[in-house]
Amino acid sequence: MSDDFTVDEIDRAIVAELRKNGRATNQQIANQLGLTAATVSTRIRRMEDADKLRVVAVSDFSAHGYNVLMELAIEVDGRPASKVAAELAEFPECFAAHLVTGRYDIDLLVVLRDFSELPDLILDKFSKVKGVRSMTPGIVVDVVKYQFDVAPIDSRGIA
């Protein structure tokens, strides 16, 4: 698809409906917006083909028995941070790994079933990754905002 693809008001309305209910059928979305199901289908496919839309499922951590959410700031030494981050990201407890600027090199978000898993994660897993110099954990005590539709599609045409 060409680089001059733009998202219009109808596309934004379709995305808004999908954000409300990601399992909505094209017909249900069409009924809400006064469109045809074929139009909705075509526009969704067009946005997907242009890499402007990706429909995903998001599950709740606690519904799967994960009761500890933790941020882990990591300093790296003697190895590229990107290599260390890639290796840490392979652990099943890690659901997000970011290369960052500032005091730390890597920021991880990890989940655990309970605090008894913390020593194994820190001492037996993450600390054994070559290049990890230090780790500073931050335990999440409350989730103020948890939102995965973070790429705004607004009237400025950002998609």
User: In this predicted model, what pLDDT tens digit does every residue of 66-96 receive, in sequence order?
Assistant: 788 899 999 999 999 999 999 999 999 998 9
Q: Would you call 97 helix, strand, or coil by DSSP? A: strand
Residue 123 phi, psi dihedral angles, 5° rounding: -85, -35
Class of domain 9-49: mainly alpha
The reported pLDDT for the residue numbered 101 is 96
Residue 156's pLDDT is what?
A: 43
- Confidence at 56, pLDDT banded by 50, 70, 90: confident
pLDDT value, residue 57? 66
Q: Does domain 62-139 have CATH number 3.30.365.10?
A: no
| pLDDT at residue 99 is higher than 50 | yes
- Shortest CA distance to 91 belongs to which of 114, 106, 111, 107? 111
Give CATH 1.10.10.10 domain extents, the chain: 9-49
The H or E element that residue 133 is part of is strand 132-139
Instruction: Specify the pTM.
Output: 0.63
Q: Which residues of 2-18 are buried (b: 16+ CB within 10 A; e: fewer)?
A: eeeeebeeebbbbbebb
**CATH 3.30.70.920 in the chain, residues?**
62-139
**Cα torsion through 87, 89, 90, 94, rounded to 10:** 140
Query: Residue by residue, what is the 3-state secondary structure of 48-96?
Result: HHCCCCCCCCCCCCHHHCCCEEEEEEEEECCCCHHHHHHHHHCCCCEEE
Model confidence at 155: pLDDT above 70:
no
Determine the Cα–Cα distance for residues 110 and 71; give it in Å rounded to an integer: 6
Mean pLDDT in residue range 44-69: 80
Residue 34: predicted pLDDT: 96
